[in-house]
Amino acid sequence: MNNTKPDFDAIVVGAGFAGMYMLYRLRARGMRVRVFETGTSVGGTWYWNRYPGARVDTETMFYSYQFSEELQQEWDWPERYPAQEDLAAYARHVADRFELWPDIQFETRVEATAWDDDANLWTVETDDGARLTASFCIMATGCLSAVNYPEIEGLDDFAGETYHTAHWPDGGADFTGKRVAVIGTGSSGVQSIPVIAAQAGHLHVFQRTANYVMPAHNRPMAPDEVAEIKANYSALRAKAKRSFSGNYFPVAGPSALAVSEEERNREYEVRWAMGGLAIMATYADFQTSDAANETASEFIRNKIRAIVKNPEVAELLAPKQLFLCKRLCVGTDYFETYNRDNVTLVDISDTEIDRITPEGVLVDGEFYPVDVLVLATGFDAVTGALKRIDIRGVNGLTLRDKWADGPKTYLGLSISGFPNMFTITGPGSPSVLTNMIPSIEQHVEWISGCIEHMRKHELGRIEAEVTAETDWVNHVNDIGDKTLRATCQSWYFGSNIPGKPRVILPYAGGFPAYAKKCDMVADGGYSGFSLR
Ligand code: N01
């Protein structure tokens, strides 16, 4: 090993909520850190996803950092589910408050990283031609950041305006009086469709799969509610961490089948009135029993039938897959929007879009002329952002090759063959099945604790062992295959990307079990890792 001094102790890729906190923690340990970020400001997902109607669907008093008591006490969220601009403003406030800006290089994309086994260093190449070295490379690239542009014939020939929800222009888009097509009815489509419909001349929604959508019931935060949460913040945060998803949702009982239909529906009505994601936790067997799950599925389908006036449209909007197989959506006036005269639902569940022409969309021989095309087609989730970087580990092994049949990681934190690299909320960690910000904090704290341990013991290299990684991957897949999430096509399994291996991407065993495992690994002197 030679003793080349690296340019930085750590390079962090991405300045979203993960990258910002990682920078804060490492710098607090006296490390020299450089963060690279493609965007012009901080916030990651909340920087890029500026589509009309974009707002978080997790209660923001809990979808926020908790590492700083001062921060969580001083910041005031305006609404129960704040809009993208408020989340982006919060990210900027954090960068101001903790003076993160000088260590973040914006408008810079990391294109490649390569491990030098002799020097124990990563070399990171950026799109401005720079090559910089660091002892650690930490990927804070986000789970839902690699944009999925669908492979639809003729898309590039469309003569009107085209927008993707996850890459929205800064100045917004004006739909006034225009003929608009939205392709995609996941969370981004569900949030944007009502807002676009209110402005457009006519909106056609092209739906491949109908989704379950709960009403948000968004509202301003009441001062007494805020005061109560702030007075009990640490206890409430601790309670959330003990729950499966890292969100505190009250559980009504172990099984939907153990209570009468009347009692069950009363409970579902309470959750519908509450709004948001709380219905997910009503009964503990939604992920293990088709029959239990079907009770909630049918409850929501009946709500759709009651809201949507045209029974044929209502049936098209009523999801066929089980509730919680795909990600539950939260919307405002989503189903009501289909009662508008200027909105038409086009079912493409059996017939793919034939092609996009310069003037519109052709489906099953029928032509829909449009001026604006909105792609709400989601992401190459969890692995996409990592695989889009040319990452080369020991002996030039590429991450793309290593993951050709699906991601392999130890705890979603580390990859054998890629020493001194950490992935924040990587595949095989609970990430997108949990409240993301607490999950990010848990990872950042684990990684900074690990680096601290290495520095204390004068260790220069850490790498996941193949056996530990294989055992973890098998465990992740075993649990994933047992959940009802395995019964439909969803981005959780990579099914939305043509050719992507069908493998569960997040760990579906819950936040508490996962965090306990991570603690045990650390307490055991980083068992499953080779350190030297
Ligand atoms: O993406 P999606 P998203 N032809 O993949 C359809 C988070 N999020 O951006 O279901 C036609 O869910 C696709 O159809 P199908 C949240 O975790 C959070 O909406 O694959 N249609 C689907 O309808 C969420 O789950 C928030 O059959 C095509 C849609 O496009 C995740 O991000 C807000 C197609 C894509 O839905 C992703 O959500 C927004 C094609 N070729 C997002 N390709 C909040 O916190 C894809 N589709 C509020």
Domain ranges for the chain, please list them: 8-147+381-531, 149-211+335-378, 249-325
Query: Which residue has the CA at smallest separation from atom 10 of ligand 1?
Result: 209
Q: Is residue 122 classed as helix, strand or coil in its secondary structure? A: strand
pLDDT-based confidence at 3, cuts 50/70/90?
low
Residue 477 pLDDT greater than 70, yes or no:
yes
Nearest to 115 by CA among 389, 391, 388: 391
Nearest atom in ligand 1 to the alpha carbon of residue 190 is 19
In CATH terms, are 8-147+381-531 and 149-211+335-378 the same topology? yes
Rounded to the nearest angstrom, the distance between the alpha carbon of 334 and the centre of ligand 1 is: 15
Distances (CA, A) of 485 to 88, 275, 325, 433: 31, 22, 4, 11
Rounded to the nearest angstrom, the distance between the alpha carbon of 474 and the centre of ligand 1 is: 27
- CA distance linking residue 422 with residue 412, whole number of Å: 9
Residue 385 pLDDT greater than 50, yes or no:
yes
- What average pLDDT is seen over the chain? 97
Mean pLDDT (whole number) for 199-214: 98
pLDDT tens digits for range 241-267: 999 999 988 899 999 999 999 999 999
Q: Using most ligand atoms within 8 A of CB, pick from 17, 144, 145 the residue to mutate for ligand 1.
A: 144
Nearest atom in ligand 1 to the alpha carbon of residue 165 is 9
Mean pLDDT (whole number) for 338-346: 98
Q: Is residue 158 classed as helix, strand or coil in its secondary structure? A: coil
On whether the CB atoms of residues 221 and 79 are closer than 8 A, the answer is: yes
**What's the pLDDT at 460?**
95
pLDDT-based confidence at 478, cuts 50/70/90?
very high
Query: Which residue has the CA at smallest separation from atom 16 of ligand 1?
Result: 187
Rounded to the nearest angstrom, the distance between the alpha carbon of 144 and the centre of ligand 1 is: 10
Q: What tokens appear for 427 in the block? A: 């595949």
Q: Using most ligand atoms within 8 A of CB, pick from 79, 208, 218, 382 the residue to mutate for ligand 1.
A: 208
- CA distance linking residue 344 with residue 334, whole number of Å: 13
Query: Which residue has the CA at smallest separation from atom 14 of ligand 1?
Result: 208
**What's the pLDDT at 1?**
45
- CA distance linking residue 381 with residue 502, whole number of Å: 12
Rounded to the nearest angstrom, the distance between the alpha carbon of 192 and the centre of ligand 1 is: 12
By percentage, how much of the chain surpasses pLDDT 70? 99
Query: Which residue has the CA at smallest separation from atom 40 of ligand 1?
Result: 150
Distance of CA 375 to the CA centre of its chain: 18
On whether the CB atoms of residues 456 and 263 are closer than 8 A, the answer is: no
Task: Kindly list the protein residues whose Cβ atom lies closer than 6 A to any atom of ligand 1.
Answer: 56-57, 144, 150, 152, 165, 183-189, 191, 208-209, 327, 348, 353, 376-379, 432, 491, 496
Residue 493 pLDDT greater than 90, yes or no:
yes
Rounded to the nearest angstrom, the distance between the alpha carbon of 190 and the centre of ligand 1 is: 9
By percentage, how much of the chain surpasses pLDDT 90? 97
Q: Which residues, other chains included, contact 170 with Cβ-Cβ below 8 Å and sequence gap of 6+?
A: 50
pLDDT tens digits for range 143-196: 999 999 999 999 999 999 999 999 999 889 999 999 999 999 999 999 999 999
pLDDT-based confidence at 60, cuts 50/70/90?
confident
Rounded to the nearest angstrom, the distance between the alpha carbon of 296 and the centre of ligand 1 is: 22
Q: Using most ligand atoms within 8 A of CB, pick from 433, 496, 497, 500 the residue to mutate for ligand 1.
A: 496
Rounded to the nearest angstrom, the distance between the alpha carbon of 329 and the centre of ligand 1 is: 10
**What's the pLDDT at 467?**
98
Rounded to the nearest angstrom, the distance between the alpha carbon of 113 and the centre of ligand 1 is: 30
Query: Which residue has the CA at smallest separation from atom 36 of ligand 1?
Result: 186
Nearest atom in ligand 1 to the alpha carbon of residue 353 is 4
Nearest atom in ligand 1 to the alpha carbon of residue 166 is 9
Query: Which residue has the CA at smallest separation from atom 13 of ligand 1?
Result: 184
- Model pTM score: 0.97
Query: Which residue has the CA at smallest separation from atom 12 of ligand 1?
Result: 186
Domain at 149-211+335-378, CATH from 3.40.190.10, 3.50.50.60, 3.30.2350.10, 3.40.50.720:
3.50.50.60
pLDDT tens digits for range 219-240: 999 999 999 999 999 999 999 9
pLDDT tens digits for range 7-41: 999 999 999 999 999 999 999 999 999 999 999 99
- Tell me which DSSP letter residue 283 carries: B
pLDDT-based confidence at 85, cuts 50/70/90?
very high
Rounded to the nearest angstrom, the distance between the alpha carbon of 188 and the centre of ligand 1 is: 6
- CA distance linking residue 375 with residue 520, whole number of Å: 43
Query: Which residue has the CA at smallest separation from atom 7 of ligand 1?
Result: 187
Rounded to the nearest angstrom, the distance between the alpha carbon of 376 and the centre of ligand 1 is: 6
**What's the pLDDT at 107?**
98
Fold entry, domain 8-147+381-531: FAD/NAD(P)-binding domain (3.50.50)
